[in-house]
């Protein structure tokens, strides 16, 4: 845990870094949302790939029938 002057310097450094990223157009939320391209048909949760989607579906919705797009995975 940083204290005193070191804490203030660390906060200023992090603020400058965040401002630079914002000016450069880097948006972490948009990048994360772009990577999630599979949507669960039951709970509408987003998953990055079919393998994760299948695992999610088998664990969270065991009584529901498996969607056709997950049969081959």
Residue 69's pLDDT is: 85
Phi and psi (nearest 5°) for 47?
-130, 150
C-alpha–C-alpha distance, residues 12 and 18, integer Å? 10
**CA separation (Å) from 37 to 21, 30, 40, 72?**
25, 12, 10, 18
The confidence score (pLDDT) of residue 68 equals 87
Per residue in 3-56, pLDDT tens?
Answer: 889 999 999 999 999 888 888 777 777 888 888 899 999 999 999 999 999 999
pTM of the shown model: 0.59
- How far the first Cα of the chain sits from its last, in Å, is 46
pLDDT for position 2: 64
């Amino acid at each position: 845990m940083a204290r005193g002057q070191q804490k203030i310097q660390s906060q200023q450094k992090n603020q400058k870094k965040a401002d630079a990223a914002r000016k450069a157009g880097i948006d972490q939320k948009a990048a994360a949302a772009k990577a999630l391209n599979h949507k669960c048909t039951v709970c509408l949760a987003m998953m990055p790939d079919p393998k994760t989607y299948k695992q999610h579906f088998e664990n969270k919705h065991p009584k529901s029938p498996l969607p056709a797009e997950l049969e081959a995975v």
